[in-house]
Amino acid sequence: MFEFLSDPTNQFIIIVALTILAIIGPIIVYLKQRMRKSIHYRIVSRTALFSVKEEVKKELEITYKGKKIEDAQLVLIEISNTGNVQIEAEDYKKPISFNFGEEAQVLTAEVIKTDPEEMQASVSIDKGIVSLTPILTNAGDSLTLKIIVSGLGEVIKASSRIIGVKQLEEAKPPMNLGLWLMVLLTILSYGSMFLFFLIASSNQILAIIFITLSIAGLTIALVLALALLVQRLLRRMRQKSSE
Whichever domain contains 100, its CATH number is 2.60.40
Asked if 184 and 114 sit in the same domain, the reply is no
Asked if 126 and 183 sit in the same domain, the reply is no
Percentage of residues in the chain with pLDDT exceeding 90?
Answer: 33
Asked if 55 and 21 sit in the same domain, the reply is no
- The pLDDT assigned to 228 comes to 65
**Residues 14-67: tens digit of each pLDDT:** 666 766 666 666 666 666 656 678 899 999 999 988 776 666 566 677 777 777
Task: Report if residue 152 sits inside a domain.
Answer: yes
Task: Report if residue 169 sits inside a domain.
Answer: no
Helices (H), 59-176: none
Asked if 148 and 46 sit in the same domain, the reply is yes
Q: Are 181 and 29 in contact (CB under 8 A)?
A: yes
Residues paired with 92 in a beta bridge: 162
Asked if 184 and 200 sit in the same domain, the reply is yes
**Residues 136-193: tens digit of each pLDDT:** 999 889 999 999 999 888 889 999 999 989 888 887 644 455 556 556 656 655 555 5
Task: Report if residue 222 sits inside a domain.
Answer: yes
What mean pLDDT is predicted for residues 62-91? Answer: 87
Q: Give kind and range of the element (H or E) at residue 191.
A: helix 177-199
Task: Report if residue 43 sits inside a domain.
Answer: yes
- The pLDDT assigned to 99 comes to 96
Task: Report if residue 199 sits inside a domain.
Answer: yes
- The pLDDT assigned to 1 comes to 45
Instruction: Select, from the ranges 95-99, 137-141, 172-176, 202-206, the one with the highest average predicted confidence (pLDDT).
Output: 95-99
Asked if 134 and 57 sit in the same domain, the reply is yes
Asked if 48 and 143 sit in the same domain, the reply is yes
What mean pLDDT is predicted for residues 125-143? Answer: 93
Please indicate whether residue 20 or residue 107 has the higher confidence score (pLDDT): 107
Q: Of 132, 164, 196, which residue is a domain's last?
A: 164
Asked if 54 and 160 sit in the same domain, the reply is yes
In the three-class reduction of DSSP (H, G, I as helix; E, B as strand; rest coil), residue 195 is classed as helix
Asked if 26 and 44 sit in the same domain, the reply is no
Asked if 43 and 119 sit in the same domain, the reply is yes
pLDDT exceeds 80 at position 211:
no
pLDDT exceeds 60 at position 219:
yes
Task: Report if residue 132 sits inside a domain.
Answer: yes
Asked if 88 and 179 sit in the same domain, the reply is no
What is the distance between the alpha carbons of residues 94 and 168, in angstroms, rounded to a whole number?
11
Helices H, strands E: what count in the chain? 4, 11
Q: Of 114, 137, 164, which residue is a domain's last?
A: 164
What is the distance between the alpha carbons of residues 63 and 70, in angstroms, rounded to a whole number?
8
What is the distance between the alpha carbons of residues 77 and 45, in angstroms, rounded to a whole number?
7
pLDDT exceeds 90 at position 7:
no
Look up the domain containing 157 and give its range.
39-164
* Number of domains forming the structure of the chain: 2
Asked if 47 and 119 sit in the same domain, the reply is yes
Q: Are 203 and 5 in contact (CB under 8 A)?
A: no
What is the distance between the alpha carbons of residues 96 and 139, in angstroms, rounded to a whole number?
17
Distances from the Cα of 138 to the Cα of 27, 88, 167, 173, 213, angstroms? 23, 8, 18, 20, 37
In the three-class reduction of DSSP (H, G, I as helix; E, B as strand; rest coil), residue 110 is classed as strand
pLDDT exceeds 90 at position 94:
yes
Q: Of 140, 164, 188, which residue is a domain's last?
A: 164
